Structure 1
Amino acid sequence: MTIETVEYPRTPLAERKAGRKNWERTGWMFMRVSGMLLVVLVLVHLYSNLVAGDGVHQIGYEFVVANKFSVPFWLIWDALLLILALIHGTNGMRTIVNDYVYKPGPRKALTITLWTACAIEIILGLIVLIVFAVEPCIHSASGIAICQ
């Protein structure tokens, strides 16, 4: 029984197996680029929500639905923040699994579970963003409606 190893991200091109893409290098580069983008996305998100305007006192259903999600720029901004953060975190967890799980079977099962959970969370998060952008009025079972 042989132990399958994960390819080192900085393996020189001459040493790599012919025709194989180095996914570890791709993941390594993605973490650097997405990390820089996430810093900008998060700082602007925090500034626009907590500092600009009335600060933290303005945060509420009306602020999010009427002010933020009525502008497509902020809807795309929040969707990009959601997607990048989840993929960045999942890729980090995948790296931890690769570092500490030595057997290929459990490693593959955990990796598939991580990416499946990531995809489900992205889909659910985008559904919430789209629903609030399209239908900002919530109707409760008691007949009370919260609208913009």
Structure 2
Amino acid sequence: MDSQSYKTISANAKTVNKEWLVIDAEGEVLGRLASQVAKILRGKHKPSFTPHVDCGDYVIVVNADKVRLTGKKMTDKVYVRHTGYPGGQRFANPADTLKRKPEFLLQHAVKGMLPKTRLGDALLRNLKIYAGAEHPHTAQNPRTIKLNEIK
């Protein structure tokens, strides 16, 4: 066999095949869901994965308000942010955040699992999170998947 016949094929923006996927987050553990969503956004589930290209799929997550955390994390975990002013440190736990803005929990978890570069910002724009069961992306004909289908 001719060893020169093997070529490494790198994906680029023109050759990437992107599709729309719907994931139901009802009853799913937050971190496990976030890691699977990050893997799909990055494109690591595809054989044509290229590290420096946005080759992942668009992901729509519904029922984000029904996500769960294990142990006592719902009350004991603390999200810290700062307003930028002296004494402006603010604290919130997931229980309060889930009531006010349920999409934030999953978005924050997925963002931490993506690259901290312009590519990571572009990948995060491919994620659409909705608190309820409805989403406005029916025109894209998204395919519903189960998390255990992904390898």
When normalised by structure 1's length, the TM-score is 0.28
When normalised by structure 2's length, the TM-score is 0.28
Q: Which has the higher strand share?
A: 2
